[in-house]
C-alpha cells in the first residue's frame, strides 16, 4: 500500500474481506493512541489482580440491567486521565495502563442501546468514551493485556475467543434485546465475524476507524461515509509518537553508550592518545549517537512521506546520512576522513534502527513486510554500527 503525501490511506470495508482477515496489521485503536506496548506473554503473564487497574477513576455510579448493576463510565476526561495519557505517551508504565475487562455503560442505555467493543488499554477506552457524550450505549471491554485494538488484533488478544468469552461472562444476551456488536474496524485482523455469529448469535458490525465518527456512524451504519474508512498518519499523528520513541531509546542507549565509553577510555589510556584527546573523541561518539536518535526518532517520522524508499530502515538510514553530513560540516570537518566516516556510520545505523520502530504505528506496513525488512535490515545495521564503532575506537587508540 502506498500512502499519499499527507499520510492517508483508504481501506476497503472489512465486511468485504475473507472472514477473520483484517485490512492492516496494527495501529492504535481509532487511530488516536500510540502503538505498541508489549504485552506479557506465556508463564510471565500478569493476572488481573496483579495488573495496575485504572477503571475506578472514570466510574460514575451504576446502571441497572437484567443481570444486575453495570458500572457507568464518565464521558469526560479528568486531569488525572490526561496526565496518565501523557505519561504513557512518554513511555512510562505503558504495560500497566489497563482497565478491568467486562461490561460498562455510558449514559442510560436500555435493551436497544448499541454495544461498542474495545480493548482494555486505558488510552483506547478513554479515546472511545470521550466521544460518547449524550449517547446511551454499552461498552464491552476485552482483555487484551493492556494493548490497543490494532496491536492486540495482530497479537491475538483482541480475538474471536476472547470476544466469545466476554459475551458469555457478561451475559450480554440478557442485557440487550438485539444481537449486534460494533467493533473498531482496525480490529478486523483478530476477529472472525462469521464465527462470532455461529457461536453466540451476535452479528459483528465493523465501525469507523475513528471514535470521533461513531455518533455519525451509528445513525447510518449501513452506508458510512468513505472518510470513516480512511486511515491517516498525518504530521500531527506522527509527532505524537516522538516523545515515546525518544523515551524508549534513552534507557538502552544510555547503557550501551556507557559500556562503549568505558571500553573507549580503556583503549585510549592504553593507546597513544592523551586524556584530553580521548575525552574529546568520547564526546564525539556521544554526539554521533545523539544525532542518530534525532534522525531516527524525530526527523524520520516528521519527514516520513517524503523520505526515499519503502523500507523504514532505508528511510532512517537516509535521514541519518543527512544528519551525519550536517554533523560533518559543523563538527567533523577539521577531523580525519576516517574518523568522520566512522561517526557517520554510527549515526546512520542508530537512525535506521530507530526508524523501524514506526512500522508498528503506521498504516503503511504488514506483519510479513515488517518481518522481512527486519531480517534484511538488522544484520546490515549491526555491521554498519560495528564498522563505525571499530573506526572510532581506532581513532581513540591513535589519539
Q: Are strands 230-232 and 203-206 parallel, antiparallel or unpaired?
A: unpaired
Give the Cα separation of 27 and 362 in Å (integer): 6
Mean pLDDT of the 92-101 span:
81
User: DSSP for 195-263?
Assistant: HHHHHHSPEEEE--SSGGGHHHHHHSTTS--GGGGEEE--HHHHHHTHHHHHHHHHHHHHHHHHHHHHH
CA angle, 182 as apex, 178 and 183 as ends, to 5°?
145
**Alpha carbons 385 and 324: distance in angstroms, whole number:** 14
Residue pair 104/72 in contact (Cβ under 8 Å)? The answer is: yes
Place of cell 519527514: 303
Report residue 113's pLDDT band, with 50, 70 and 90 as the boundaries.
Answer: very high
Q: In the numeric block, which cell numbers belong to residue 339?
A: 574518523
- CATH 3.40.50.11600 domain span(s) along the chain: 8-232
* Mean pLDDT value across residues 229-252: 82
* CB within 8 Å of 155: residues ≥ 6 apart: 39, 144, 147
pLDDT in tens, 39-88: 333 333 344 333 444 445 578 888 999 999 999 999 998 888 888 888 88
pLDDT band at 250 (very low <50, low <70, confident <90, very high): confident
Closest CA to 195 of 154, 228, 229, 167: 167
Bigger pLDDT: 203 or 52? 203
Percent above pLDDT 70 for the chain: 82
Quote the pLDDT of residue 2. Answer: 35
In terms of Cα–Cα distance, which of 30, 25, 134 is closest to 75? 134
Question: What residues contact residue 80 under an 8 Å CB cut-off, 6+ apart?
Answer: 57
Model confidence pLDDT, tens digit, residues 268-291 = 888 877 888 888 888 888 999 999
Instruction: Tell me the pLDDT tens digit for each residue of 169-178.
Output: 999 999 999 9
Name the pLDDT band for 210 (thresholds 50, 70, 90): confident
Structural contact between residues 346 and 285, judged by C-beta atoms closer than 8 angstroms: yes
Is residue 20's pLDDT more than 50? no
CATH class (in words) of the domain with range 8-232? alpha beta
Rounded Cα gap, residues 180 and 231, in angstroms:
24
* Average pLDDT along the chain: 81
Amino acid at each position: 500500500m502506498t500512502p499519499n503525501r499527507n499520510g492517508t490511506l483508504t481501506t476497503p470495508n472489512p465486511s468485504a474481506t475473507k472472514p477473520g482477515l483484517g485490512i492492516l496489521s496494527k495501529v492504535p485503536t481509532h487511530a488516536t493512541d500510540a502503538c505498541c506496548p508489549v504485552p506479557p506473554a506465556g508463564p510471565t503473564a500478569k493476572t488481573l489482580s496483579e495488573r495496575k487497574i485504572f477503571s475506578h477513576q472514570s466510574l460514575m455510579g451504576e446502571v441497572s440491567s437484567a443481570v444486575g448493576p453495570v458500572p457507568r463510565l464518565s464521558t469526560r476526561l479528568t486531569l488525572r486521565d490526561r496526565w496518565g495519557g501523557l505519561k504513557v505517551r512518554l513511555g512510562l508504565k505503558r504495560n500497566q495502563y489497563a482497565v478491568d475487562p467486562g461490561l460498562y455503560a455510558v449514559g442510560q442505555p436500555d435493551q436497544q442501546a448499541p454495544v461498542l467493543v474495545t480493548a482494555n488499554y486505558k488510552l483506547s477506552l478513554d479515546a472511545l468514551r470521550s466521544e460518547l457524550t449524550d449517547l446511551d450505549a454499552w461498552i464491552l471491554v476485552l482483555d487484551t493485556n493492556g494493548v490497543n485494538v490494532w496491536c492486540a488484533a495482530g497479537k491475538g488478544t483482541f480475538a474471536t475467543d476472547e470476544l466469545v468469552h466476554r459475551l458469555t461472562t457478561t451475559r450480554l444476551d440478557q442485557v440487550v434485546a438485539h444481537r449486534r456488536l460494533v467493533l473498531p474496524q482496525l480490529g478486523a485482523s483478530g476477529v472472525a465475524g462469521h464465527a462470532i455469529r455461529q457461536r453466540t448469535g451476535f452479528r459483528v458490525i465493523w465501525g469507523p476507524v475513528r471514535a470521533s465518527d461513531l455518533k455519525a456512524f451509528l445513525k447510518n451504519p449501513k452506508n458510512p461515509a468513505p472518510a470513516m474508512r480512511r486511515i491517516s498518519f498525518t504530521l500531527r499523528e506522527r509527532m505524537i509518537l516522538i516523545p515515546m520513541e525518544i523515551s524508549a531509546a534513552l534507557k538502552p542507549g544510555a547503557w550501551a553508550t556507557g559500556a562503549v565509553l568505558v571500553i573507549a577510555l580503556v583503549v585510549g589510556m592504553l593507546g597513544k592518545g592523551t586524556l584530553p584527546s580521548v575525552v574529546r573523541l568520547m564526546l564525539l561518539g556521544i554526539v554521533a549517537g545523539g544525532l542518530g536518535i534525532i534522525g531516527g526518532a524525530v526527523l524520520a517520522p516528521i519527514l516520513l512521506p517524503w523520505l526515499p524508499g519503502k523500507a523504514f530502515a532505508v528511510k532512517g538510514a537516509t535521514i541519518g546520512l543527512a544528519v551525519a553530513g550536517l554533523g560533518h560540516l559543523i563538527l567533523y570537518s577539521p577531523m580525519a576522513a576516517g574518523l568522520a566516516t566512522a561517526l557517520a556510520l554510527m549515526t546512520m545505523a542508530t537512525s535506521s534502527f530507530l526508524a523501524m520502530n514506526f512500522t508498528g504505528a503506521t498504516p503503511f506496513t504488514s506483519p510479513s513486510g515488517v518481518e522481512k525488512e527486519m531480517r534484511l535490515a538488522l544484520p546490515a545495521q549491526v555491521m554498519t554500527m560495528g564498522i563505525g564503532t571499530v573506526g572510532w575506537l581506532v581513532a581513540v587508540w591513535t589519539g
